[in-house]
Amino acid sequence: MIEIRTSKRTEIVDITSLVQNEVSKSGVSNGIAVVFTRHTTTAIMVNEGEKGLLDDLEDLLCRLIPRDAGYKHDYIDNNADSHLRAMLIGNSVVLPITNGELDLGTWQRILFVELDGPRSNRRIAVKVIRE
């Protein structure tokens, strides 16, 4: 289990090294790792961690799913945009492990997406399965 703290309403956190730590602790050399966020207003994705690109994603999410657009869920919890943005991105990724290392491409990073922060205790489950 990985626990992280976020400091903004929308924030993208590179968790690649934290996931690699979990893989190393497992002792598994070859297999898969499942990375799953346990929250309904966060997401997990694999992509490039370049700052401009991550800003572009935030801008896109705001255009696609603006805040306060008359959503039904806002009548009870005022964060419908956070849930809807999370649904678009997805809540888990599966990664290959080769020789004890996450087998990522050159530019690939594992990115946790906070969509209703800041929060002090976001939990991400990592399950490592031997081949």
Any contact of residue 42 with Zn ion (CB under 5 A)? no
Residues of span 79-108 touching Zn ion by CB under 5 A: 79
Total interface residues for Zn ion by CB under 5 A: 2
Q: Are 100 and 29 in contact (CB under 8 A)?
A: yes
Secondary structure, 3-state, 29-42: CCEEEEEEECCCCE
Whole-number Å distance between alpha carbons of 98 and 89: 26
Whole-number Å distance between alpha carbons of 49 and 54: 7
Q: Are 33 and 19 in contact (CB under 8 A)?
A: yes
Q: Which window, 31-39, 52-60, 78-86, 101-109, contacts Zn ion (CB under 5 A)?
A: 78-86
Which one of 3, 14, 48, 77 is in contact with Zn ion (CB under 5 A)? 77
* CA-based radius of gyration for the chain: 16
Mode of pairing for the β-strands spanning 42-47 and 109-114: antiparallel
Tell me how far, at minimum, the Cβ of 77 lies from Zn ion, in Å: 3
Q: Which window, 17-25, 43-51, 70-78, 90-98, contacts Zn ion (CB under 5 A)?
A: 70-78
Tell me how far, at minimum, the Cβ of 85 lies from Zn ion, in Å: 12
Q: What are phi and psi for residue 60, nearest 5 degrees?
A: -65, -45
Residue whose CB is nearest to Zn ion in the complex, by number: 77
Question: Closer to Zn ion at the Cβ: 56 or 77?
Answer: 77
Tell me how far, at minimum, the Cβ of 118 lies from Zn ion, in Å: 16
Question: Closer to Zn ion at the Cβ: 50 or 77?
Answer: 77
